[in-house]
A and B are shown apart, each in its own frame.
Chain A
Amino acid sequence: MSRMNARQQAAWEKRKVRRQPERRLVAVEMLFFFSAFLLISLKEKVDFVGLLLAFVVPALIFVATIWMPRFFPADKLLMAIVNFLCALGVLILYSTDGDAGTSRGFQQALYYGLGLIAMLICILLVRYVRRWRVLIWIIAVGALGLIALPLAIGTEINGATNWIRIGSTSLQPSEVVKIALVLILSYFMSRRKLVPWLGFVGLCMGVLMLQKDLGTALIYYCTGLILFYVSTGNLALTGVGLLGAGGAAILGYKMFAHVKRRVAVWRNPWQYYETSGYQIAQVLMAIASGGLLGVGLGLGAPRVIPVYFTDCIFAVICEQFGVIFGILTLVMYAIIIIRGVSTAVSARRGFHALIAMGVTAMLGIQTFIIIGGVLKLIPLTGVTMPFVSYGGTSMVSCMGLIGLLQGVHSLNQDDLSYDYEISRTLAQQAGLQLADE
């Protein structure tokens, strides 16, 4: 290094910046989406929206992964993976828009931008709010009011009364309440206040049961149970909770006809191909037709699958890009979960650790429920695939959850840097040098 002249030194520094892992990863992601949107936009005639997305989506990835973390010590790897999944959702939705005449791809790109704003707000919330005592009660009351709102003014979509319509747009409050649920449960468990914790979970579950939103209820229940076990370490009571869930499932199977029908379809969808088994049969056929490498971007027949743009979007991914691509997508979800657990373990406050664990559990359970349902591992339940499925509420909710996780991670980094700085100063004073300097 000492023999380099100024020009070589500058080139060396430039090369070092270029070889940073986040830049290398983001460069590949940007190349992926630029080429994919370019290909789609040239499918029949030159589509200027597609060309616009070919530049806007990579720019969003760059801004969210490289530029935003300059303001706080965020987890750039998590950011890069989440942005990739969001952009993948935009791409898939845009590729299925052509023949149908819809504009879900473009709308999803807008939701992606909204999600980034929600993520930023949640990061700031975790980083800078120190006194949660009053705020958490306000959030709890607001969340309960919001989740109960569809009972009064809600509309029924796909059998569940969990939507409210505001003007020309519709909103699913139970998705937004997910962020509040993680915050509230984490706060009360970290303060060892079991009564408000139990009361909030019970009220939410009751309202969701009244709305017949079983998928969201399952996510809430499992998240609460995991947070309870992580916080208390009480295996016996957690086992009781699991047994209670099993008992409730059996009771629901005995009592409700639609639960019975769903289980029957899950066991043999081909028997009910004409009626209730049509969706899962089409999903399985789409995955099989895609094979290992897929039928090609923009090809295939994804629109024959009912609600292909929300619940069954993983089948569309497998059909167009192949099963190998689908497996690699699952690997990315696995990395998100591992990073979330790592963030939770590294947190120094119980509240922050429980927030990170709650976010990880919620995203992991949601991913498992929808992917398992699409792959016929478990009965298919109507929840969205995080970051990928179409829907503004889902996107904002998932990005908000990631914002909570990023906030905890940034606090961990702050604490570690503080310790390191003190040790480095004292080591310098003693005439020693730390190893990584």
Chain B
Amino acid sequence: MPAEIYEIVALAARFWFLFLMALIVLRSYRWYARERRQRKKRLRLLPDAGYIGEFVVLQGAGDLKEGEVLSVPFEGTLGFVRSNDLCVPVPGVATRHLWFSYDERKGLKLTALGRNDFSVDEKTIGEEPKGLCMVHGSRLYIGECELRLRMFAGYEVGMNPQRMMTADYPPQQWQQAPYPPYGQQGMPCPGMSAYAPGQPYGMNPQQPVYHQPPQPMVGYGPAMPYYPPNGYPPQVGWNQQQWQYQQNWQQAAYAQPHPPAQPMPPQWQPEPFVQPVEEEVITFHPLMEDEDWEEEAYEEENRFAAHDQQRMERYTREPQQPAPQEFYPLETGEDVWPVMPRPDEWRSEGLFDDLLDEDGTDASLPPKSAYVGRDESAWAKRRIWDKYFGGGDAP
């Protein structure tokens, strides 16, 4: 190609290359933004993603109350201050007390930082300086508090069932347990599950438990799990977590002193129809005086019209009284009676929705959590959301 022609073509091609480059950058950015939205949506569906389990505070002290839940990531530090991955503000806990990391074969391995002391089940860190391993159901005694590990589905490890069971129940009981053989399915955490036999595992929308008294437990103790037939270990998974939180909430709610019984609220009832007193009404119908049936019809019509008008006025004058749907929970305020989203409300809570779209509106919302009250794990998740994913309105 002659140099002059090439120069003209190259000069013209500048615009073509610039257009293609702009298109590449634009499509790259749109792709990036789209994946970011999808990631937010997926994380909202999986609020426990990135955690292997959680510590349940069995015995609290200081600012750590009994019943609180601390989500456990794959690895990190546990200590007194909030810069740790697990903050345990309890007397006796050092600023950075221990290092924990999840091992697929051994479980949650705990190593002391410095000369800090703690114990897992019956072993102390002094006996095994290389570290102690926690499995599902293990108890951690650190400072003045006692924590119990509940591992999520898919993160259980091989464990010693005898050690776990003997820690909770006498041998004659667990040997006769109608459980599936340990090691073949996920290990239940004794004392942490309360399912009646036959009760579907996970959520049961047809039987909202928050309106029901606790299910009667059969067998011995509260450890009577229902094993799902899908092969997944039962103790975890997101839905299972929601169910477990609901169970925890329910148990905590029933453990509270019952509010005093209150009478049923007054209920509006329509007044019975009273036949008006017959009065002699003289009507004049100049054109139809002779037609008695017309007069009677007119009178009858006026009588019912007046009565309807009276009913309507009475109805609108009286204050509206909502018809009570359920006796429980009592309307005593959220601070007294914690509110838990019921399964039929989860759709509106954003936990499940068929209509979620990639339009950005849903992606801008923070992840909804079914945690009750202001617990630590919700706070930690909120911080992660605010710090790394743009934040948003309070859930």
Q: A104 to B273, alpha carbons, bound, how many Å?
A: 102
Question: In the assembled complex, which residues on chain A have CB atoms less than 8 Å from the CB atom of B15?
Answer: 293
CB distance from B31 to the nearest CB of A (A): 4
CB distance from A193 to the nearest CB of B (A): 12
CB distance from A327 to the nearest CB of B (A): 9
Q: Which of B3, B228, B239, B353 interacts with A423 by CB under 8 Å?
A: B239
Question: In the assembled complex, which residues on chain B have CB atoms less than 8 Å from the CB atom of A66?
Answer: none
Q: A25-B31, A422-B232, A425-B232 are in contact. Are A296 and B7 (CB under 8 A)?
A: yes
Which B4-43 residues have C-beta < 8 A from chain A? 6-7, 9-11, 13-18, 20-25, 27-32, 34-36, 38-39, 41-42
Q: Are A81 and B352 in contact (CB under 8 A)?
A: no
Q: A297 to B42, alpha carbons, bound, how many Å?
A: 44
Question: In the assembled complex, which residues on chain A have CB atoms less than 8 Å from the CB atom of B58?
Answer: none
Q: Are A29 and B24 in contact (CB under 8 A)?
A: yes
A298 within 8 A of partner (CB)? yes
Question: In the assembled complex, which residues on chain B have CB atoms less than 8 Å from the CB atom of A80?
Answer: 28
Q: A423 to B30, alpha carbons, bound, how many Å?
A: 29
Binds A, one of B176-184, B198-206, B323-331: B198-206
Q: A321-B21, A332-B28 are in contact. Are A429 and B228 (CB under 8 A)?
A: yes
Q: Are B31 and A430 in contact (CB under 8 A)?
A: no
Question: In the assembled complex, which residues on chain A have CB atoms less than 8 Å from the CB atom of B38?
Answer: 436
Q: A320 to B83, alpha carbons, bound, how many Å?
A: 51
Q: Are A81 and B28 in contact (CB under 8 A)?
A: yes
Q: A422 to B356, alpha carbons, bound, how many Å?
A: 21
Q: Are A426 and B238 in contact (CB under 8 A)?
A: yes
A322 within 8 A of partner (CB)? yes
Residue of B nearest to A296 (CB): B10
B73 within 8 A of partner (CB)? yes
Q: Which of A42, A335, A346, A434 interacts with B45 by CB under 8 Å?
A: A434
Q: Are A321 and B45 in contact (CB under 8 A)?
A: no
Interface residues on B, range: 35 or more
CB distance from B30 to the nearest CB of A (A): 7
Q: Are A32 and B20 in contact (CB under 8 A)?
A: yes
B143 within 8 A of partner (CB)? no
> What secondary structure prevails in chain A residues at the interface with B?
helix
Q: Are A299 and B21 in contact (CB under 8 A)?
A: no
A199 within 8 A of partner (CB)? no
A93 within 8 A of partner (CB)? no
B245 within 8 A of partner (CB)? no
B293 within 8 A of partner (CB)? no
Q: A22 to B25, alpha carbons, bound, how many Å?
A: 13
Residue of A nearest to B43 (CB): A416
Question: In the assembled complex, which residues on chain A have CB atoms less than 8 Å from the CB atom of B238?
Answer: 419, 422-423, 426-427
Give the total of A residues in contact with B, Cβ under 8 Å.
Answer: 62
Question: In the assembled complex, which residues on chain B have CB atoms less than 8 Å from the CB atom of A35?
Answer: 13, 16-17, 20
Q: Are A345 and B388 in contact (CB under 8 A)?
A: yes
A84 within 8 A of partner (CB)? yes
Q: Are B22 and A435 in contact (CB under 8 A)?
A: no
Q: A28-B20, A348-B50 are in contact. Are A39 and B13 (CB under 8 A)?
A: yes
Q: Are A325 and B18 in contact (CB under 8 A)?
A: yes
Q: A91 to B74, alpha carbons, bound, how many Å?
A: 45
Which B208-228 residues have C-beta < 8 A from chain A? 228
Question: In the assembled complex, which residues on chain A have CB atoms less than 8 Å from the CB atom of B232?
Answer: 422, 425-426
Report B376-395 CB contacts with A as 1/0, cut-off 8 Å: 00000000000010000000
CB distance from B34 to the nearest CB of A (A): 7
B261 within 8 A of partner (CB)? no
Q: Are A332 and B35 in contact (CB under 8 A)?
A: no
Q: Are A297 and B356 in contact (CB under 8 A)?
A: no
The 5 closest A-B pairs by CB, nearest first: A296-B10, A423-B238, A426-B239, A426-B237, A435-B356
Sampled A-B contacts (23; CB under 8 Å): A25-B28, A29-B24, A32-B24, A44-B6, A77-B31, A77-B32, A190-B75, A293-B15, A294-B14, A296-B14, A321-B21, A348-B73, A348-B74, A419-B49, A420-B46, A420-B49, A422-B238, A423-B238, A426-B239, A427-B238, A430-B205, A432-B352, A435-B353
